[in-house]
């Protein structure tokens, strides 16, 4: 996993929540852009949770990023227009 891929998920517009999967089996949710901090240089990120706890994550331990599905479970589709 590269920091570039994590930054891509972090900087997505609009932001979509995602989970960081770690080598030890844990999954760390990033619910909002404001809940994560990544220094410009370094190999750690800090993720704050809604309960006030913090996760300090070594990027070498991140194995995957999982984007959260839409809340309503539906995909966004283009509206069709009548002729």
Identify which has the larger pLDDT, 61 or 39: 61
Contact 20, 63 (CB under 8 A): no
**How far is the C-alpha of 41 from the C-alpha of 14, rounded, in Å?**
25
Position 69 confidence tier, pLDDT thresholds 50, 70, 90: confident
- Residue 33 pLDDT: 92
Position 7 confidence tier, pLDDT thresholds 50, 70, 90: confident
pLDDT tens-digit series, residues 20-38: 999 999 999 999 999 999 8
pTM, rounded to two decimals: 0.76
């Amino acid at each position: 996993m590269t920091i570039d891929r994590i930054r891509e998920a972090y900087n997505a517009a609009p932001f979509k929540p995602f989970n960081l999967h770690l080598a030890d089996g844990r999954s760390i949710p990033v619910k909002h852009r404001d809940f994560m901090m990544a220094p410009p240089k370094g190999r750690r990120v800090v993720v704050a949770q809604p309960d006030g706890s913090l996760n300090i994550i070594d990027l070498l331990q991140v194995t995957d990023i999982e984007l959260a599905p839409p809340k309503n479970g539906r995909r966004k589709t283009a509206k069709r227009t009548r002729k």
